């Protein structure tokens, strides 16, 4: 892989995350020589050009497929699409990627993405990834709300990935602001993420679902606000993520329900010493978790 | 009620909230002439004296009861105790309160406190309250972490409360930084708080309870962190709050479980359009809630 400042980088999908990635790349001391981007939304492309996030914009047409002229130039490609769109895009564009290019993605589920990455042309290298950052609003216009600094990044490298490409990507990710990179398998990612991300979104959604009073926030002291911030979710994306990781997620929901039932039973029984002991253990466990 | 700058104010219980109230009173342009405080913990009293939060400290002894000399001087009393301690304290101190004084409290449950306030001497006026602010650490030493600015405050006034005292207290609360004061009944408070506060704490505790891996936070992107911040709970206090509000809380847990089950069923069935429609409604409902 050549040095990043000699690369042409391509962003596929200029939504919330695509916009944040483009901005982060542009701000690097050794920014890519050129940053190209494609999207189905001309206004997102125009806004990115206006903000000087990208050098050249390519309109992706659902019928005509991927912008071949863009992909043929890119040494590094960030796929910033929902999982199903990502898979359709790569399958349609397989022949257009530049030989030797490095591809990565930002999808919140890695099983199907890793399977796709395994069956690419041998001369291109796809390292699946998941930046653990986001915002409660969608689209390019909100991408300034996404803060990469100090955040986690998960990579699920394949055996076929070239070690120098993995080293290149990790170095780039750190310079984009992320502070902790964890490498695991696609299955390991999907199992952990079912808990830290998807279950939390299901809980937040359920919490809003069970209260119809729009004035309830007058009684908020931060807890409700914290627990439901993520209920402002991108419904099509989270539907995909929940359904694709259905088995792991349902298992996590069931485990959560078991804990909830146990605490509910302690409250119902009025057993103060047992309840206090359990809450004390929970406090200790949360305190012992890595920062 | 005389002007606040002519009052002697008393803080009973110099923990997290007592310390925050003392500091907020001290910072007022028209701060009370004197701020007195009592606690069972000499080190909290010493720290408050050293920080000039209070003018005089009284050690409360569990055996000898309430500090009579302090209460006899106070025109305004903030009871900053857990509900059960608050009730024992007021019952033991009933005779000592200064005639004409205004009492309020900060307890997170109002049923038993309101019942107590109803049976006080007719020459003293107790207006129950609940400042919706806190922190994930306990004790006076952490009271600087509590921020009242822009927060909600709930008052549950009684028919017997004097209107001029209620107006005095509301004006004081606003000057302490709170931006929205809601008046409701004790029962109304306990029903709403079972949802916005107690259910949220039960959920946060359950979420930590169902995952033993202390390295799980490597996979966190903010959702898990937001949802479990409040799992760092003061176990004795929350045990009291959960158990005293048991009926309302269990009803809220059941309603939450029903919503969770419905979303779980949509995920299990793989019904993408229905799941997306429900998540969209939830997003809209959360967005429509008052700020």
- Rounded to an integer, the average pLDDT of B10-27 is 97
pLDDT at B65: 54
Q: Are strands A125-127 and A102-105 parallel, antiparallel or unpaired?
A: parallel
pLDDT in tens, B42-61: 999 999 999 999 999 999 87
Same domain for A202 and A172?
no
| ipTM of this complex | 0.92
Residue B70 confidence class, pLDDT cut points 50, 70, 90: very high
Is B258 an 8 Å CB contact of chain A? Answer: yes
Using the predicted structure, report yes or no on whether residue B63 has a pLDDT greater than 80.
Answer: no
Q: Number of structural domains, chain B?
A: 2
Is A210 an 8 Å CB contact of chain B? Answer: yes
CATH number at residue A177: 3.40.50.720
Same domain for B276 and B146?
no
Same domain for B35 and B88?
yes
What are the CB-based long-range contacts (under 8 Å, 24+) for A97-101? A97/A71, A97/A72, A97/A121, A97/A124, A98/A71, A98/A72, A98/A73, A98/A74, A98/A124, A99/A123, A99/A124, A100/A75, A100/A124, A101/A74, A101/A75, A101/A76, A101/A77, A101/A125
Same domain for A115 and A11?
yes
Same domain for A127 and A260?
no
Same domain for B111 and B152?
yes
A131, A164, A184 — which closes off a domain? A184
Which parts of chain A sit beneath pLDDT 70? Answer: 62-66
Same domain for A135 and A194?
no
Residues B200, A215: C-beta atoms closer than 8 Å:
no
The first and second tokens of residue A194, run together, are: 């079912």
Look up the domain containing B235 and give its range. 189-288
Same domain for B85 and B127?
yes
3-state secondary structure of B61: strand
Is A284 an 8 Å CB contact of chain B? Answer: no
pLDDT at B62: 61
pLDDT in tens, A175-202: 999 999 999 999 999 999 999 999 999 9
Is B251 an 8 Å CB contact of chain A? Answer: no
pTM: 0.93
Q: CB of A184 within 8 A of CB of A156?
A: yes
A127, A161, A184 — which closes off a domain? A184
pLDDT in tens, A84-127: 999 999 999 999 999 999 999 999 999 999 999 999 999 999 99
- What's the mean pLDDT when you consider all of chain B? 95
Distance CA A143, CA A27 (A): 14
CATH number at residue A211: 1.10.3660.10
Same domain for A106 and A85?
yes
Q: Which residues of B touch A224 (CB under 8 A)?
A: 195-197, 200
Residues A243, B270: C-beta atoms closer than 8 Å:
yes
Same domain for A32 and A129?
yes
Residues A239, B276: C-beta atoms closer than 8 Å:
yes
Nearest by CB: B226 against A230, A232, A291: A230
Residues B204, A215: C-beta atoms closer than 8 Å:
no
Residues A267, B255: C-beta atoms closer than 8 Å:
no
Same domain for B92 and B161?
yes
Return the residue of A nearest to B191 by Cα: A219
B184, B203, B220 — which closes off a domain? B184
Same domain for A9 and A149?
yes
Nearest by CB: B226 against A151, A199, A229: A229
By percentage, how much of chain A surpasses pLDDT 90?
Answer: 94
């Amino acid at each position: 892989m050549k040095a990043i400042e000699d690369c042409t980088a391509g962003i596929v999908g200029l939504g919330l995350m695509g916009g944040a990635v483009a901005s982060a790349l542009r701000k690097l001391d050794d920014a890519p020589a050129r940053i190209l981007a494609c999207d189905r939304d001309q206004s997102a492309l125009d806004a990115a050009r206006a903000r000087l996030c990208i050098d050249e914009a390519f309109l992706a047409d659902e019928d005509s497929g991927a912008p071949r002229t863009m992909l043929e130039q890119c040494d590094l490609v960030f796929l910033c699409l929902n999982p199903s769109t990502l898979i359709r895009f790569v399958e349609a564009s397989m022949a257009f990627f530049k030989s030797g290019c490095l591809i990565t993605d930002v999808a919140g589920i890695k099983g199907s993405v890793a399977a796709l990455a395994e069956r690419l042309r041998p001369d291109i290298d796809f390292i699946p990834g998941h930046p653990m950052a986001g915002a409660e609003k969608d689209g390019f216009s909100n991408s300034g709300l996404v803060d990469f600094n100090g955040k986690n990044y998960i990579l699920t490298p394949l055996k076929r990935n070239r070690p120098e490409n993995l080293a290149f990507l990790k170095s780039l990710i750190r310079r984009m602001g992320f502070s902790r990179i964890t490498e695991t398998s696609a299955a390991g990612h999907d199992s952990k993420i079912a808990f830290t991300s998807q279950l939390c979104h299901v809980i937040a959604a359920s919490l809003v679902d069970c209260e119809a009073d729009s004035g309830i926030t007058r009684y908020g002291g931060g807890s409700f606000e914290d627990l439901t911030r993520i209920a402002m979710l991108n419904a099509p994306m989270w539907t995909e993520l929940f359904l694709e990781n259905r088995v792991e997620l349902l298992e996590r929901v069931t485990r959560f329900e078991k804990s909830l039932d146990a605490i509910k039973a302690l409250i119902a029984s009025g057993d103060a010493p047992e309840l206090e002991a359990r809450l004390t253990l929970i406090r200790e466990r949360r305190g012992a978790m890595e920062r």
